[in-house]
Amino acid sequence: MSLADAAAPPPLPTVPATRAGRALSFAARHWWLTLSLLCLVLWTPGVLTLPPLDRDESRFAQSSKQMLETLNFIDIRFGHVPRYKKPAGIYWLQSATTAIAGMGDKTHIWTYRLPSLLGGILAVLLCFWTARAFAIPEVSWLAAALMATSLLLTAESTIATTDAVQLACVMGAIGVLLRVYLAARDANRPQPTTTTVLLGWVALAAGTLVKGPLVLGICAVTIVALIAWDREWRWLKGLKPLYGVPLTLALVAPWAIAISLESHGAFYQQSLGQDFAAKLAGGQESHGAWPGYYLLLVTFTFWPAILFIAPGCGAALRRMGDAPTRFLLAWAGASWLLFELVPTKLPHYVLPAYPALAMLAAHWMLTPRDDAERPWQPILFVLAAVQFALGVVTFAMAPALAPIYVGSGLTWWLIALGAVGAIFGLTALILYLRRSVLLAGAFAVLAILVFYPTITVGAAPRLTELWVSPDAAALIARHTVQGDPPPILAGYTEPSLVFLLGTETRLTDGAGAADNGAFQGGLALIEDAERPAFLARLAELEADAVPVDEMRGLNYSRGKKVHLTLYRVTATHDVTVPPAE
């Protein structure tokens, strides 16, 4: 590519004078309403119907529940153990929504998911706002819709973790950064107001309180990439750091100091010195992978937008002299490279790079085709079609087949819904291959609107072997009598079961379960691997335990079948000292 070609004016997006184009313009005029409704229709079924998931979601929810129980909003604990991995921001949000929406009941998981739902919606709306810094409303709406329907954001917005809220913080900060950059590159653009710039710093502070330095890291690598590319740094003065840095510190410092005093420095030792450093040094908790991991997963995690991502990125290479394109490439490229180089990898880590790709794809969807397309464009065009087709096949078949192996068996109406989604998906593919890109996008959205609720509402409840914790909680509830102490768990101690049973649930091994049971009596749920030690210790203590029920399932966190036996243990007067925690 020559420098003259790179600096050529980019083709301008245009909205076709068709029914689809008019519908898009209508949606873009009412963007906040149409995008919010799209998110709610797609995400709410999963929020309301999925049981508590292991392990991160239930750990977050249980720790938030304990904040409400203790009214200690500084310290973070799971049971009696400190949980010093993430700052307190997400726990505050989950505690607040549960206090407001739970009506006094702290055991409904959906109330802890509301921050993710609202954070995801805010992230989508901020994606529109960010794109409006350089794009027409229709391009901005398409970019936001591609994000809203992406499988990864859809999943993160339906579970009680940090990533949807974190993405909203990223979008708030990066949207301001983009506006400052574009104003410096074009004298005709107005400078962002001081209020707008300071709101970007507020987003950075909020992101720090939700997930530590990640928002700062995304902004930093984007800035470094732009400075290296442009050989220019003075535009950073537009960020007003003399005001922004003190504001950010003022918002973050109170809790940062309080948790340091509360934990005697243990929070920073564990969160930064152990958790964060371990992720940078190696594959933490068996989550290591080679570079390229996210490129392999993007076919599914960014479906259905994947149909437009490769062509959109390829077309962007012809517009690198265009300041908005340069910013988006720096944002997506630098952050993606960062996540690929970090040894610890999980699918959701790369989510903050997705909005930049969505904006590039949306620009391509409304850009007139011309003869200047490079030879690689047809290859990328076909690659995207293949990636999309793989997603159609996977999402059509998985809801019908999964219950056969780990659930209630074949369900014909799930097959029918999968077929409907596949018809929409294949229609999108055919339209795409015929270059009816906008209509292809509409049918791709219809496909995910069928597929995702089919998975969350239709297939998930029928994966009966996976829902060990809800079944175990129901089993214990059936056999609990008035006056029983908190139940004892040995072997199967997943966080979801603790969330369902309560904070005082005792987690131990087989021998410890016998000690606790002999002291307090009550119910003990023992997994087969711990049963010999449990029975042997009971015999030593001359305590009685009667099996009252049993159940089987699949512990998906470990990928192992489990057989659980519920015992009623009779307390013995010979054990008068409670066992150690």
Q: Which of 439, 464, 489 is the last residue of a domain?
A: 464
> In the block, which residue shows the tokens 């007067």?
573
Q: Is residue 303 part of a domain?
A: no
Same structural domain, 56 and 150: yes
Q: Which of 438, 464, 490 is the last residue of a domain?
A: 464
Segment 373-426, tens digit of pLDDT? 677 788 999 999 999 999 999 999 999 999 999 998 888 999 999 999 999 999
Q: Is residue 339 part of a domain?
A: no
Q: Is residue 247 part of a domain?
A: yes
Distances 350 to 221, 328, 342, 555 between C-alpha atoms, Å: 14, 15, 11, 27
* Residue among 329, 333, 312, 308 nearest 320 (CA): 329
CA distance 300 to 393: 11
Same structural domain, 440 and 495: no
Enter the DSSP assignment of 187: T
Q: What does the longest C-alpha to C-alpha distance in the chain come to?
A: 90
Q: Is residue 311 part of a domain?
A: no
Same structural domain, 117 and 184: yes
* Count: domains in the chain: 3
pTM confidence score: 0.95
Q: What is the pLDDT of residue 575?
A: 61
Helix (H) or strand (E) holding 549: strand 544-555
Same structural domain, 268 and 191: yes
Q: How many residues appear in the chain? A: 581
Map residue 283 onto helix, strand or coil. coil
Segment 208-262, tens digit of pLDDT? 999 999 999 999 999 999 999 999 999 999 999 999 999 999 999 999 999 999 9
Q: At what angle do helices 437-453 and 19-29 cross, to 10 degrees?
A: 60
Q: Is residue 293 part of a domain?
A: no
Same structural domain, 448 and 512: no
Same structural domain, 260 and 239: yes
- What is the average pLDDT score of the chain? 93
Q: What is the pLDDT of residue 409?
A: 85
Q: Which of 417, 439, 464 is the last residue of a domain?
A: 464
Q: Is residue 316 part of a domain?
A: no
Same structural domain, 497 and 456: no
Segment 170-180, tens digit of pLDDT? 999 999 999 99
Same structural domain, 102 and 126: yes
Segment 497-533, tens digit of pLDDT? 999 999 999 999 999 999 999 999 999 999 999 999 9
Residue 5 — pLDDT band, cuts 50, 70, 90? Answer: very low
Note down the domain range covering 499. Answer: 467-570
Same structural domain, 198 and 80: yes
Same structural domain, 497 and 416: no
Q: Is residue 214 part of a domain?
A: yes
Alpha helices in 342-411 (DSSP H): 354-365, 376-406
Q: Is residue 346 part of a domain?
A: no
Same structural domain, 188 and 264: yes
Q: Is 221 left (phi over 0), alpha (psi -120 to 50) or beta?
A: alpha
Same structural domain, 456 and 526: no
